[in-house]
Amino acid sequence: MDAGSCNGCEIEVAAAFGPVYDAERYGARLVASPRHADAVLVTGVVTHNMAEPLRRTVEATPRPRVVLALGDCAADCGVFRGAYGVAGAAADVVDVDMTVPGCPPRPEQIVEALRGVTRR
C-alpha cells in the first residue's frame, strides 16, 4: 500500500516481481484485495489523509498477517521527517513486523524479505 511515497519503492517492487527477480517463484503474489493477502507492503511515509485507509487495509487483511515497512520513508519517514503533511512512519500507525531499508530498497532486498514471510 502506497501511504504517501515518491513511487521509487513501487518501481522496485515491480522489478522484484518482474522476469529478472521473479518473486513469484518463491510463492509471493501481488493481489488486488487485502482480503486475499497474507502480507501488506507499506511504502512511503504515512500522510495524514492515508493513516485511516492504511489502518483499514491492515485490518481487512486476514490473520495471521505480516506488515512490511518497505523503504526508509515507511521505516522512519526518511527525508520527509517533520513535514507538515506527514502523520509518521508505518509503525506509528499500524504494527509493523518487518522493515526493509533503502531509498529505495533494491529488488533483491524485497525478494529476500518476501522469502522470509513465506517461510513463516
Q: Where are the domains of the chain?
A: 8-115
| pLDDT confidence of residue 119 | 52
Number of C-beta neighbours around residue 79 at 10 A: 11
pLDDT in tens, 57-68: 999 999 999 999
Residue with cell 531509498: 103
3-state secondary structure of 16: helix
Number of C-beta neighbours around residue 25 at 10 A: 9
Q: Which of 88, 45, 48, 90 is nearest to 66 (CA)?
A: 90
pTM: 0.90
Which backbone phi and psi does 19 adopt, to 5 degrees?
-70, -25
Residue 89 pLDDT more than 60? yes
Identify the architecture of domain 8-115 in CATH.
3-Layer(aba) Sandwich (3.40)
pLDDT in tens, 4-38: 999 999 999 999 999 999 999 999 999 999 999 99
| pLDDT confidence of residue 120 | 53
Mean of pLDDT values over 75-92 = 94
Residue 118 pLDDT more than 80? no
Q: Which of 70, 7, 3 is nearest to 41 (CA)?
A: 70
Residue 84 pLDDT more than 70? yes
| pLDDT confidence of residue 117 | 84
| Cα atoms in the 13 Å half-sphere on the side-chain side of 4 | 27
The cell numbers describing 59, all together, are 485490518
Q: Which of 76, 72, 71 is nearest to 89 (CA)?
A: 76
